[in-house]
Amino acid sequence: MHPVCSEMVNLVLMDATETSLGIPRRGGQRGYIYVVLLFALLVFGIGLAKVGEWTSEQARRDRELELLRCGETVVAAIRDYYLTSPGVVRTFPKSWSDLTQDPRFLGPVRHLRAAPIDPITQSDDWEFIASPDGGFAGVYSPSEAAPVARVPVIIAGHPVAAVQRYRDWRFAYDPQDDPAPFSAQRQIKSPPSPAQPPARN
């Protein structure tokens, strides 16, 4: 226990004991007890405020890390969608539904389980980064708030300088920056054809 709080408890107990026993006290003693009590409450209140500030800051740091993880997941999903494009021309997704259920294939092909929630704004109201073909190549948070730690971060494998706002963190896939677009391409296999009976002699 804090020394001031311990002293406060001792004084209050002593005052209560003397009162119950009818022991006479000097007039200034009660005033001293109340002064100590008020000071202890002030110290306790400041401590609670500091704990609240630390908890709030830690929660913001956690949301920042979640935003970075969420952005990396979106970039990976867009990359997967782009590289698995059927045919010669590769395309970007037009909407979240293209990533959660790719309409270009007959069977179920999912690049993303569900449309993500922005950890900063706690909504799905993302800003989209347009792609050359009219789809979207990435997303970013619309939040104007400043990150807790203004330090460089890694986004999509590239270092990004410290920013002033969350919206300055851009999570986008650029095929020209992809170090190995073909080796990482996921193969969409067609179902095997029925087995043919052996030829008779």
> Residue 56: its pLDDT value, please?
81
* Residue 142 CB burial class (10 angstroms; 0-12, 13-18, ≥19): middle
Regions of the chain with pLDDT less than 50:
50-51, 54, 183-198, 201
Helical packing angle, 3-21 and 27-83, nearest 10°: 140
Q: Which helix (H) or strand (E) holds 172?
A: strand 171-172
Q: Is the sign of the CA dihedral 174, 180, 184, 189 positive or negative?
A: positive
Residues whose CB is less than 8 angstroms from the CB of residue 152 and which lie 6 or more positions away in sequence, other chains included? 159, 160, 161, 162
Q: Which residue has the tokens 């890390």?
A: 65
> Residue 121: its pLDDT value, please?
96
Query: Residue 118 has what DSSP assignment?
Result: B
> Residue 84: its pLDDT value, please?
95
Report pTM.
0.65
> Residue 64: its pLDDT value, please?
95
Closest to 138 (Cα-Cα) out of 108, 176, 104, 93: 93
Q: For the segment 95-149, what is each residue's pLDDT rounded down to a tens digit?
A: 999 999 999 999 999 999 999 999 999 999 999 999 999 999 999 999 999 999 7
Strand-pair category, 171-172 with 153-155: unpaired
> Residue 198: its pLDDT value, please?
46
